[in-house]
Amino acid sequence: MELDSCASSDALLMNVFCYPGVSRDGRISALLGAEEGVSPCFGYRARVPLANGKFDRTEVDLRLGNLLVEAKLTESNFQSAQKKALQTYRDFSDVFDRQQLPQMGDHYLSYQLLRNVLAAYALQCSFCVLVDARRPDLADAWYAVMKCVKPIELRTKLRMSTWQEVAQAAPARLRAFLAAKYGIKWQTGYDQRLCTALVTRLR
């Protein structure tokens, strides 16, 4: 079912991390801050704790050892959710400055990012968002969430990378496939400006 859309971010993740030799090569893992040689787990059920002692059904796009990954390609945003739904999470108030979080009316924006940060906190993992460098709006949305994370140790475990950076680190044949199939090509100037702008905002 993850491959219902061959152009989806799930399919793209599988095309990259199931490509022969990628895990042994280690360059993409190093780029994302993951352990070398670990097997990818797609659609990982994080079981984020709720205040009532139960767990939610959050699925993280990818787990690589102690790294959780949320990937975006064609999707328009990170979704939204009612505030009362997010306030049922056990660690919500400990992790986020609720007043500063992106919100509209009775909804918090970037719901997928919020729950994945909560998953990283509960599992003591790092978390990386993978976006297309041609979508600076998604990078801005991630920055808006990152700056609201209260625990400094957790904030240092949060990062962003682009598919273009992944393509640059990929084996040559995979890099050619990503360019032909998804139009993902390394654009040095644009990628560097995007990443530099994000780092500057976080200082």
Give the model confidence (pLDDT) of 88-97 as tens digits.
999 999 999 9
Arithmetic mean of pLDDT, 140-158: 96
* Secondary structure (3-state) at 72: coil
pTM: 0.87
Q: Which of 25-39, 99-113, 135-149 has the lowest mean pLDDT?
A: 25-39
For residue 199, pLDDT beyond 60: no
| Beta-bridge mates of residue 67 | 64, 126
With a cut of 60, say whether residue 141 has pLDDT above it.
yes
